[in-house]
Structure 1
């Protein structure tokens, strides 16, 4: 079926889950999760698949084996379209509403070294710097795992040291509770956002 928007029940579901993250709550409301969250997310990503590829819709369960936080359920539902190793397009819904993003979410040592080498390059690094500046000027939030100091082997006065510090690099945009998240128009908006993010994805895939 065509995506018609996330219902208000999806936001209410996650509001309550943040308060009572328990199996009892989940079992009582798993029907709401399916109809208000899982099914609409599948419909949304299906409509985007022809252009961007099939999405992995993440399981709602947390891996608590090595975590002090034993809350069993994620407080958002995410979906990811991979176009490279840990690189691609992202969308999620949770209590704060809808968030979209793109970038590389982690990198092996060898791949990270290749990306940093490209950032160091005058031409390729300047290209990424221009992209990032454009995104931040147009309302995207720059994110990722960032070192507090320069990575080993790089000077703190490198002209692109802020980019070199990134162990992952993402851009994201929030739609929160905007009315668009409850309508079919969200598909068009996310398509527009992901198209805008494609130059970043392409840069990462070329150099990493």
Structure 2
């Protein structure tokens, strides 16, 4: 495994350029720059995080447009995702302007949402409120709140703000700069994921992983006569 020594300045330059020109022609001419300046350092970062956080899946540069046909064909960022024991996503993403980390669930599925609200109604909800209060201002992503109170919940419930949530994800970002070309990003990502650990542990215990949706088999077309 190669040691992580940071991203060269060309990494954010490349990401800015592919944001402006997300074409197959640009990618074909510049893909070696992506491999050297963007992808290789991301793989090295993932490798150094793995002993503490488990496998870190590095995002592919090509966008899967099967369900998003209007999406640009190539990612305008790079990143990696680890998964906690209970299914929380721990992510790191480098864009042309910032390095960001997240921890939690951006969106709960139906079963997770039921478990989350049940827990928030009880004493576990008080614990979560305390954990979030200790995280620091600006760390909690707004997620997907409901317009009003969930059905059957009074609008004056002491934890109505939490009960209105449809996801819970901690987020922090730092502007891009010369620090990216050092080992500092590794220390920062590691520290931020550790700081999120109490909230991740709460989600693992009380919410758990999303239900796995098995793909439906495609119908078999009869052979032509």
Which one has a larger percent helix, Structure 1 or Structure 2? Answer: 1
Determine the C-alpha separation between the residues in 2 that align with 1:45 and 1:56: 8
TM-score by length of 2: 0.85
Give the C-alpha shift of residue 133 in structure 1.
1.8
Determine the C-alpha separation between the residues in 2 that align with 1:75 and 1:65: 18
What SS is found at the alignment partner of 1:190? helix
Once the two structures are superposed, residues 66-104 of structure 1 have per-residue CA deviations (whole angstroms, 9 ceiling, x without a partner) of 436342112111211011565131101111121111112
The answer (yes or no) to whether the contact 2:7–2:38 under 8 Å persists in 1 is yes
The more displaced of 9-18 and 185-194 is 185-194
Determine the C-alpha separation between the residues in 2 that align with 1:84 and 1:155: 34
Once the two structures are superposed, residues 154-179 of structure 1 have per-residue CA deviations (whole angstroms, 9 ceiling, x without a partner) of 22222111111221111111111143
The answer (yes or no) to whether the contact 2:120–2:162 under 8 Å persists in 1 is yes
The answer (yes or no) to whether the contact 1:86–1:107 under 8 Å persists in 2 is no
1:43 aligns with 2:44: yes
The more displaced of 99-108 and 40-49 is 99-108
Q: Give the 3 Å change call, closer, same or farther, for CA 34–106 of structure 1 in structure 2.
A: same
Structure 2: gaps of 5 or more residues: 208-225
1:130 aligns with 2:134: no
What SS is found at the alignment partner of 1:80? strand
Q: Give the 3 Å change call, closer, same or farther, for CA 41–199 of structure 1 in structure 2.
A: same
The 5 A counterparts of 1:1-208 are 1-67=2-68, 69-84=70-85, 86-121=87-122, 123-137=123-137, 139-208=138-207
Q: Give the 3 Å change call, closer, same or farther, for CA 86–13 of structure 1 in structure 2.
A: farther
Which one has a larger percent strand, Structure 1 or Structure 2? Answer: 1
CA RMSD after TM alignment: 1.7
Determine the C-alpha separation between the residues in 2 that align with 1:155 and 1:32: 56
What SS is found at the alignment partner of 1:143? coil
Q: Give the 3 Å change call, closer, same or farther, for CA 189–114 of structure 1 in structure 2.
A: same
Rg bigger for which structure?
2
